[in-house]
Copies of this chain bind each other. A is one copy, B any other.
Amino acid sequence: MQLGFVSAILADLPLEGVLDVAADAGFQCVELMCWPRGKAERRYAGVTHVDVVGLDQGGARRVMELAAARGIAISGLGYYPNPLAPDRAEAEVYVEHIRQVIAAARMMGLGVVNTFVGRDWTKSIDDNWPRFRETWPPLIAFAEAHGVRVGIENCPMLFTGDEWPGGKNLAISPAVWRRMFAEIPSPSWGLNYDPSHMIWQQMDHLAPIRDFADRLVHVHAKDVRLDRDRLDQVGILGHPNDYHTPKLPGLGDVDWAGFFSLLSDVGYDGPVCVEVEDRAYEGSLAARKRSLAQSARYLRQYM
């Protein structure tokens, strides 16, 4: 396994700066954000460390050389929009950009692109399914044709009233994953598995490593802390942010020892990328750099 981080946390640094931080803090790889240039629509979104729009062979080579020069691998390209957004025109923009990220990955010789399945958050999973069946088969076929595996992050994208009730990503649970993979059995997609989302959904966060071992395309290392005193006031029907707090690895409820114990057993030998969304460390660029260094110190004991 290779320790890396998700570049979104260093939104204010250019690619070179991101790679420098990675090298300085002893990381082995980075997942690079590839949002289209423009205004961020939400926290951690809208970051462009690789601009895939109009990327040519020269540009692709330059990125790879910058990374190689620092001994840093690129674990995958990341772009996390809502390709099933209720506004079809908006969704089409997202889908088209995902294609461009896939094409860019191929140009860069990379095998992994991470994203969301998306969801019309006002509708149930069942009611979203027709759109899923319409949108995703061609996308995965496109990825397959380009030799790229798509890693779907298992984040419900449901935090506050804004995404209530359904959140903006269908791929939230083993039940849904099974349905997805049954629908599109292609080996060219799988999970960008993040154990933290399982915690607040009250699911076993270790069993999927065994049950979906052959679907592990990429892994995120984020932690969350369930705040029981707050949960006791609002219950699970409250907004998730009302009862849990994203934290750095080791400061939450994820069983990291068990996590790496199983990852090693199933033979996962890919990237494990720290995703920092701990507000206690977002005050300054220095604090965010420290958060990466601390995360690396913590995780290194298990890998």
Contacts and interface: CB of A to CB of B under 8 A. Distances in A.
Interface residues of A, number: 52
A235 B196 CA distance: 13
Interface string A150-190: 00000010100100111100001111000000000000000
Interface of A: 124, 126, 156, 158, 161, 164-167, 172-175, 198, 200-204, 207, 225, 228, 231-238, 245, 247, 250-252, 257-258, 260-261, 264-265, 267, 278, 280-281, 294, 297-298, 300-303
Given A301-B297, A303-B294, A232 B250 contact: no
A200 to B, nearest CB: 8
B233 A245 contact: no
Contact of A261 (B172, B175, B251): B251
This chain: how many copies in the complex?
Answer: 6
7 contacts: A165-B165, A173-B233, A175-B234, A201-B237, A250-B257, A252-B261, A294-B302
A204 to B, nearest CB: 4
B198 A235 contact: yes
